[in-house]
Amino acid sequence: MSETAELRALVTQRFPVLAERADELIANSRVRRMPAGSVLFSPHQPCSGFPLVLEGSIRVAKTAPNGREILLYRVDPGESCILSGSCLLGRSDYSATGIAETDVEVLVIPPPLFNELMLHHARFREYVFGMYAARLSEVMELVEEVAFRKLDTRLAQLLVQRGPILSETHQKLADELGSVREIVTRLLRSFEQRGWVRLERERITVLDAKALADFARG
């Protein structure tokens, strides 16, 4: 199978809503392949197109002037970035950072084709607005957690959701929770003292998921 045929099959598999226009998309869009850790976009940068994630995962985060970061959402295969769509529709620059968490492959639809699809392709338009609704719900949950829930209960909930084994650094957990590493480490150690988790280098093992879940529910 040729490279173009493989790409067409992948686009069709990941984005069936665009299957009928896969050839046109491939002919008029560009494929970006980037290693883990690459910055796809950053604040105040203009949007060059609408990315369709074919492989890998992208983390979209907001960074404060003091360096603290909070995760807004992730973009996985078969998904796209609502921030990119917002920038294209509003003709504005990015307001957050997109970083490849793994090696990624992205098909970037150029702005003119994106606009044409939004105007004349009903299924694509429904897909984009459906994605907006889902992401808005996620961000509203994030705002609620940050504004109204204590960090210790949010950390407990995250451990239950990701467990029983998390191969992540304390810094990465802090970034996701919008906190700092020192506070997250202190909370993790208190959980360990209660027998709820076991801490190792870049590894956290959940020992008592029920106790953590009960604590997260307050």
> Per-residue confidence of the chain (218 residues) as pLDDT tens digits?
678 889 999 999 999 999 999 999 999 999 999 999 999 999 999 999 999 999 999 999 888 776 667 788 889 999 999 999 999 999 999 999 999 999 999 999 999 999 999 999 999 999 999 998 988 888 777 776 666 568 888 899 999 998 899 998 898 888 888 787 888 888 899 899 899 999 998 899 999 999 999 988 87
Question: Residue 53: what are its φ and ψ, rounded to 5°?
Answer: -80, 115
Q: How many CB atoms lie within 10 A of CB 65?
A: 5
> pTM value?
0.69
Residues 170/188, Cβ–Cβ less than 8 Å: yes
CA gap 190, 131 in Å, rounded: 38
Domains defined for the chain, CATH in brackets: 3-147 (2.60.120.10), 150-216 (1.10.10.10)
Q: Coil, strand or helix: which one is 94?
A: coil
